[in-house]
């Protein structure tokens, strides 16, 4: 019996509501397999905690979390707390403190999911974005001089290290090999305008590519990528992007795969010196909280990504098949998908399908 210790941070708003469905799928999968189990510890961190204690998480939070095999997070944020406080006080602390330098974002349109592009379908939208997750444009290096004076100056700079850039790119190539789709990695750049950071980025990309003669490469400027995502998403396999560019193009990608209800992500520390963290891309959705109508598919997909990181088991693909089954049936869908089902009913339906598939 393989036992995994999972730190669960449901967070705020619909984070709590979808988390229950993520746990449900993990337990269903474990029960079917019989040889794995999960031990969960819940942490009440988030905006409510902040309002009570003045902190988004405990001061020794990272020390406590370090002992876990993985972290599963719902969503953080509430109108009562400024977003930069909630983001920096919890999410970014974990991502950066645990050197989760890879942000893994599958962009896959499932059959039955709504796609905003006319003439494109599930066979056209199936790629992965690897976003650098701890430095680059979001390194937090800069300052304000002469605040509120006529001479006021804001400076924010990017930080790109050779070591980290190499690791991120290397992972992109390894993933392209593993996916074995087009055996292609697209380098997302802007080296025509960013003549230091992105020229460096391109150089490292070329160096890493040397080691993967079986993988084709292409380099696209980020503005062109935004256009090609809409015009010819079917040409992509694996893309590698800096923190800022990856942030932007993955939201565009989420739209291609049917919206925030489908977007899942992993924040990975590949060496496993720290736990990795898995979270749906959406936020806490204060506009629909406490109604029990949040779409749990992104969270369920996120739990599947966590499984893939913890074990090598091709059976996890059945979770995606189970989601697809529920989508195609069309009977148990939340209001964002024009249905009238509750969050827990969608979770139950996916688990039911999973039991039939495995």
Binding site for Mg ion (CB under 5 A): 247
Dihedral sign of CA atoms 200, 201, 206, 209 in order: positive
56, 76, 128, 130: which one binds ligand NAI (CB under 6 A): 76
Residue list 334-353, contact with ligand NAI (CB under 6 A): 336
Sheet with 238-241, edge to edge strand ranges: 36-42, 2-11, 70-75, 276-280, 264-268, 102-108, 126-132, 238-241, 184-189, 216-221
The Cα 178–Cα 193 span in angstroms is 33
**Residue 96 in the binding site for ligand NAI (CB under 6 A):** no
The helix (run of H) or strand (run of E) holding residue 103 is strand 102-108
- Give the number of other Cβ atoms within 10 Å of residue 7's Cβ: 23
182, 239 Cβ separation under 8 angstroms: no
Nearest approach, Cβ of residue 62 and Mg ion (Å): 23
Residue list 188-247, contact with ligand NAI (CB under 6 A): none
114 interface partner picked from Mg ion, ligand NAI, none, CB below 5 to 8 A per type:
none
Residue list 272-311, contact with ligand NAI (CB under 6 A): 279, 282-288, 294-295, 298
The Cα 255–Cα 271 span in angstroms is 31
Q: Which is nearer to ligand NAI, 74 or 325 (CB)?
A: 74
Pairing of strands 70-75, 2-11: parallel
Q: Which is nearer to Mg ion, 28 or 265 (CB)?
A: 265
Nearest approach, Cβ of residue 244 and Mg ion (Å): 10
Pairing of strands 153-159, 136-145: antiparallel
Q: Nearest Cα to 70, choosing from 108, 29, 35, 100?
A: 100
298 interface partner picked from Mg ion, ligand NAI, none, CB below 5 to 8 A per type:
ligand NAI
220, 187 Cβ separation under 8 angstroms: yes
Give the residues across from 266 on adjacent strands: 104, 278
Nearest approach, Cβ of residue 50 and ligand NAI (Å): 12
Q: Which is nearer to ligand NAI, 242 or 284 (CB)?
A: 284
Nearest approach, Cβ of residue 349 and ligand NAI (Å): 15
The helix (run of H) or strand (run of E) holding residue 132 is strand 126-132
- Compute the C-alpha angle 223/229/235, nearest 5°: 115
316 interface partner picked from Mg ion, ligand NAI, none, CB below 5 to 8 A per type:
none
Nearest approach, Cβ of residue 229 and Mg ion (Å): 15
- State the burial class of residue 326 (Cβ atoms within 10 Å of its Cβ: 0-12, 13-18, 19+): buried
247 interface partner picked from Mg ion, ligand NAI, none, CB below 5 to 8 A per type:
Mg ion
**Residue 106 in the binding site for ligand NAI (CB under 6 A):** no
**Residue 75 in the binding site for ligand NAI (CB under 6 A):** yes
Nearest approach, Cβ of residue 293 and ligand NAI (Å): 7
Q: Which is nearer to Mg ion, 224 or 248 (CB)?
A: 248
Q: Which is nearer to Mg ion, 129 or 209 (CB)?
A: 129
Q: Which is nearer to ligand NAI, 160 or 309 (CB)?
A: 309
Displacement of CA 131 from its chain's centroid (Å): 9
Q: How many residues sit close enough to ligand NAI to count as binding (CB under 6 A)?
A: 22
Pairing of strands 216-221, 264-268: unpaired
Nearest approach, Cβ of residue 295 and Mg ion (Å): 18
Q: Which is nearer to ligand NAI, 107 or 298 (CB)?
A: 298
Binding positions for ligand NAI, rule: CB under 6 A: 14, 18, 75-78, 83, 91, 260-261, 279, 282-288, 294-295, 298, 336
């Amino acid at each position: 019996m393989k036992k995994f210790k999972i730190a669960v941070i449901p967070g705020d708003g619909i984070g709590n509501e979808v988390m229950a469905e993520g746990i449900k799928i993990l337990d269903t999968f474990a029960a079917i397999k019989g040889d794995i189990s999960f031990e969960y510890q819940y942490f009440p961190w988030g905006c409510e905690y902040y309002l009570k204690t003045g902190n988004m998480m405990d001061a020794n939070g990272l020390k406590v979390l370090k002992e876990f095999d993985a972290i599963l997070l719902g969503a953080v944020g509430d109108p009562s707390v400024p977003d930069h406080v909630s983001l920096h006080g919890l999410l970014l602390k974990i991502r950066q403190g645990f050197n989760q330098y890879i942000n893994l974002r599958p962009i896959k349109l499932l059959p039955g999911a709504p796609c905003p592009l006319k003439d494109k379908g599930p066979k056209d939208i199936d790629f992965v974005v690897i976003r650098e997750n701890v430095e680059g444009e979001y390194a937090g290096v800069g300052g304000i001089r002469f605040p509120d004076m006529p001479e006021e100056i804001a400076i924010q700079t990017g930080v790109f290290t050779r070591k980290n850039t190499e690791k991120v790119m290397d992972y992109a190539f390894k993933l392209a090999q593993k996916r074995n789709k087009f055996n292609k990695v697209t380098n997302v750049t802007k080296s025509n305008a960013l003549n230091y950071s992105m020229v460096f980025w391109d150089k490292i990309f070329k160096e890493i590519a040397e080691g993967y003669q079986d993988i084709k490469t292409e380099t696209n400027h980020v503005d062109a990528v935004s256009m090609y995502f809409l015009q010819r998403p079917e040409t992509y396999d694996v893309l590698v992007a800096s923190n800022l560019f990856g942030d932007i193009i993955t939201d565009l990608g989420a739209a291609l795969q049917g919206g925030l209800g489908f977007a899942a992500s992993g924040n990975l520390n590949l060496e496993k010196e720290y736990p990795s963290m898995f979270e749906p891309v959406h936020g806490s959705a204060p506009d629909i909280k406490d109604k029990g109508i949040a779409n749990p598919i992104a969270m369920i997909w996120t739990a599947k990504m966590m499984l893939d990181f913890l074990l090598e088991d091709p059976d996890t693909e059945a979770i995606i098949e189970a989601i697809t089954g529920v989508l195609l049936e069309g009977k148990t869908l939340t209001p964002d998908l024009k249905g009238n089902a509750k969050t827990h009913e969608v979770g139950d339906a996916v688990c039911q399908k999973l039991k039939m598939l495995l």
